[in-house]
Structure 1
Amino acid sequence: MRPGFRQSMAWLHTWAGLVTGWVMFAVFVTGTATYYRADISLWMRPELRAGPSDPIPAAERGIAYLKTHAPKAMAWYVSVPQPDRPVIGVYWMDSLEAPLGQALLDRETGTPTRARDTQGGDFFYRFHYELQMMPTLGRWIVGGAAMILLVALISGIVTHRRIFADFFTFRRDKSAQRGWLDAHNVTGVLALPFHLMITYTGIVTLGLMYMPWGVTAAYKGDDLRFFVESAQSTTWRPAAGRPAEALPLAPLLARAQGEVFEPLEMVIVNNPGDAGATVVAVFEEPHGLAHQHPQIAFDAVSGAVVERVGTMKPAAHVFTSFMGLHEAHFASPVLRALFFLCGLMGAATIATGLVLWSVARMPKAGEAPRFGLRLVRGLNIGTILGLPIGMAAFFLANRLLPVDLAHRATWEGGVFFGAWALAALVPLARPHRRAWVEMGLSAGLLFGAVPIVGALTTDRGFDFLAFDAAMLGLGLVLALGARAVSLYEGRRAAARAARPAGGLAPEGLVKA
């Protein structure tokens, strides 16, 4: 490590950014996409039509389905239709160890929907904090990378004394290294508060998993009691062990709606068919930072209110506020668009930093790059352009795979990872600079094809104008980027051809 504090911070910033860069680029890109998770899910289920729906009859249809298909479950969950999710989602839990069963129902008939099987926008949502791995392993990897990224951000602020002055300087044609450095500074400074906020809050949202010792010591492993006492959940009432007939659902939900002036989001029935059964009405979170859902629990047999989730404790309120800030549930359409743009700049900051690392270590003319540099350059292309190729292939698979294909959602995920893996192998077989051009053009063409294929394979045409425009915009940006690299390489080749044997370029020649 070099002597001096700033030099040490520069070393730390460089290597912290490289070590976590590929993972955090993928996290930033997929996390940014989830700001429009509902829009992505609607596009990926073109058989559904968005629109208003009465939540109480929908909840009754969901409960009726569960009575028939999961009569012995210990808990039922019914997610009522929302304007951006026009289906009834039913889930059931047979035991604490068993995975949740689930089905999607038509909101008008209560029968299984004929919409195609897909994870929709939830695929990117889960990827951005679990990497589609085993949940615990994926969250630890993402959390560790986010912690190192936070170190890289802070050390970068210390390193760049003129960081705000450099924001107004962009010397694209001075040299490759100077241009990438200026691009790194501009994208990093422009959304610096967002980068710090989103990285820190992302770590905090998983804080109980990383540091569980306080809850474990205070509650002796009884995590449910922790959530109840912090006013994040209702109390679980044990089963009485004898059957009993529950009251009709609609009057209970109507009473709950009379108390809470927020839209109904979910209905939970604990111990269905038992004398100790409870019905919990869960409402959407009030507009604001805190990620809190008002809840009212009824005795399913007598109809008495047994619990209301009130104001959260201060620590829980702070925690849920961090979660709400990270997920931007409170954001208006304009603010959500601003979050989206800041997320894109975060991805651009990481991408330009990765490229800058390799450009700064390019060997002199005539020297072959070492294995480590070739590996980093290949990983850069495989991540920066391979991930968008995988995402575009994911959207195309949604339209091209047969609608009735078994395990269709799994196949879509397989196409995503398969296309990404293939795109990551291409740079190993092609010249480095040609790989940038070819991969950029491929990504641009694939994104441009998404709205066209979508219009040709469904009866919706171009109903999803905002989504289609976003796909075309991304495709255009990627294609123009590939063209810019091609033109830059053309100027470099012309400069090399015109350079005299002595190595001095003629006056007025475009600099490489």
Structure 2
Amino acid sequence: MTIFSRKPALHAHQWMGVFLSAFLYLVCLSGTLVVFNQEFERWEQPQIAEFASVSAEAVSQALTTFVSNNKEETEHYHIVFPTSGIPRLVVENDHKAVFADQQGKLLETEAFPWSKMLLDLHYYLHLPSTFGMIFVSALGAVICMLVVSGVFAHKKLVKDALKWRRGGSGQAGRIDLHNRFGIWASPFHLIIGMTGVYFGMAGLILTLVAQLDHNGDKQAVMNDIFTPEPALTQQAGFPDVEKAITAFNDMETGHKPIFLTVHDVGTPQQFIEIYAQVTNKLIYSENYRFTSAGDFIETAHYDDGHWGKQLIYSIYRLHFGDFAGVPVKVLYFILGIMLTALCVSGMDIWLSKQGNPPRLSAVWGALVWGSVSALALTATAGLVFSIPLTAMFWLLLSMGCVISFVRPEFGRRRWLKICAMSVSLLIIGYGLRHLQAAMTPASLQINSLLIVFALWCWWRAGHVLYRR
């Protein structure tokens, strides 16, 4: 019997999933939502003016006003263009970000605490950043192992490709859906797992390669992978971003500018870099570099560079589905739901085989649906109060699990109804908080989905499997 035979693969698949199910579920759930992170950021501040384009003169005016109002020391200035996926103009330094209108007049400060909390949950599981990133990336490796072991554990892969048994206790159908989701979407799951591993392990790999090949010089390794910054000696004046943007537009590259960064502010090495999306490639951007006076220097050659450089520079978009617009985001969202459902159904199948221990089953239900309810309630609280949303999320989730442990009858049916009510409360609170702005496209694209989800939760709570 080899490690690739069915029985060892099945055992490995089961126990990896059981022991890490809670962490896998939270990472997959948050990752599915993070696909629409830009939309959530717009949703948190729906009253901000939105537009499709902005002039170089307006951008320069916005930066000039921002710098005069914010004189703290900083190494960078950033300008996010309305062509970045968020149709708004943002000017920021290393400490603060402010919106601007189409004429370059500054508006209110950027603030999206709930979206940031959600991002941190996916990136770090709210653990200290270094350890959290490594742990989450290790979960990416676990996802890959679960996919591979699941394939080897399935003895009738082709024959059962469309099998879905209905009726009875629901266990047979749950197993069939678990297997179908796992097989149909396995290429996507492997991509998500492998790219997730990269984010956490990149720093460790960088350190190892630096020690082996560059006498511990990490910057030398970075220069091999990413284009090094230009060596400049100049008098550092105020960056002429208007001239740089105009020069970029005159190049007629066909690339869409995402954002602009002024590096090494106030030093002789100060330079301007415009990041532009290449529409026919997965790379994050091609970068165009200009002197502080706005004169073109060079491109970073990610578009036409070595294939390895292009691959590494494509991992972000590949992991988050940030390419080819809304259709790909919707596809990633659906596939993300399938991956999240795999985490849930896998644990459900195992619990059923153990005879559904009342307390453990109740706590698992509280974790699955209580986390969704906690996300909705933290978003509601964030509309009114300036409180630590991360602490509130874990407090609500922990309370839900404790309640279900003490009272095992507090099962999934109740949690589904709590989810429906929590999301409904969020929708009502959002409308009262933002009034007319709640009818903007930035609001409606999220709230319409929340309404559908709340109705689904209430309907699902009446399913025969949850009536007990």
Task: Give TM-score scaled by structure 2 length.
Answer: 0.87
How far does the alpha carbon of each residue in 1:70-106 deviate from its partner, in whole angstroms, 9 at most, with x for none? 36433333333446252413023xxxxxxxx222233
* Structure 1 position 422 matched with structure 2 position 423: no
2:229 to 232, 235, 252: 235
User: Residue in 2 aligned with 1:411?
Assistant: 388
Aligned amino acid, residue 24 of structure 1: L
Q: Does 1:483 align with 2:459?
A: no
Structure 1 residue 315 corresponds to structure 2 residue 302: no
1:265 to 2:258 alignment? yes
User: In the alignment, is the contact (CA less than 8 A) between 2:140 and 2:192 conserved in 1?
Assistant: no
Shift of 1:31: 0.9
Q: Which residue of 1 aligns with 2:331?
A: 338
> Alignment partner of 1:40: what SS?
helix
Distance 1:197 1:248, change over 3 A: closer
1:200-226 deviation per Cα after TM superposition (whole angstroms, max 9, x unaligned): 222234442242312443344444444
Q: For residues 85 and 224 of structure 1, what CA distance do their matches in structure 2 show?
A: 35
Cα distance in 2 for partners of 1:278, 1:343 equals 41
Cα separation, 1, equivalents of 2:417 and 2:260: 48
The aligned counterpart of 1:508 is none
1:384 lines up with 2:384 in the alignment? no
Give the C-alpha shift of residue 12 in structure 1.
Answer: 0.5
Equivalent residue, structure 2, for 1:98: none
Q: Which structure 2 residue ranges, 5 or more long, are not aligned?
A: none
Q: How much has 1:63 moved relative to structure 2?
A: 4.5
Structure 1 pair 239/379, CA: closer, same or farther in 2 (3 Å)? farther
Report how far residue 278 of structure 1 moved.
2.9
Paired with 2:45 and 2:109, the residues of 1 have a C-alpha distance of 6
Aligned-partner residue type, residue 293 of structure 1 = S
3-state SS of paired residue (1:49)? coil
Look up the equivalent residue of 2:195 and give its one-letter code: T
Aligned to 1:396: 380
Distance 1:271 1:116 in 2: 23
1:347 matched to 2:323: no
**CA offsets 1:37-83 (integer angstroms, 9 cap, x no match):** 11111111122132234152224422442355236433333333446
CA contact (8 A) 2:255 2:276 kept: yes
Residue 88 of structure 2 corresponds to which residue in structure 1?
86
Which of 417, 428, 435 is the equivalent residue of 1:441? 417
Paired with 1:195 and 1:22, the residues of 2 have a C-alpha distance of 18
Using the TM superposition, give the Cα deviation of residue 325 of structure 1 relative to its aligned residue in structure 2, in angstroms: 1.8
The answer for the alignment partner of 1:452 in structure 2 is 428
Counterpart selection for 2:449 from 470, 481, 484: 470
Alignment partner, residue 156 of structure 1 = 150
Q: Identity across aligned pairs (percent)?
A: 16
Q: Is the 8 A contact 1:289 1:325 kept in 2?
A: no
Query: Paired residue for 2:140, among 141, 146, 162?
Result: 146
Give me the whole-angstrom Cα distance separating, in 1, the residues matched to 2:456 and 2:33: 16
- Secondary structure at the aligned position of 2:411 is classed as helix
The CA distance in 1 between the partners of 2:100 and 2:466, in whole Å, is 55
Cα deviation for residue 233 of structure 1 reads 4.4
Describe the SS at the equivalent of 2:412.
helix
For 1:86, give the aligned amino acid: R
SS in 2 for 1:165: coil
TM-score by length of 1: 0.80
Structure 2 match to 1:8: 8
Map of 2:77 onto structure 1: 76
Corresponding letter in the other structure for 1:262: H
Partner secondary structure for residue 480 of structure 1:
helix
| CA gap 1:314/1:178 in 2 versus in 1, 3 angstroms | same
| Distance in 1 of aligned mates of 2:97 and 2:196 | 30
Partner of 1:202: 196
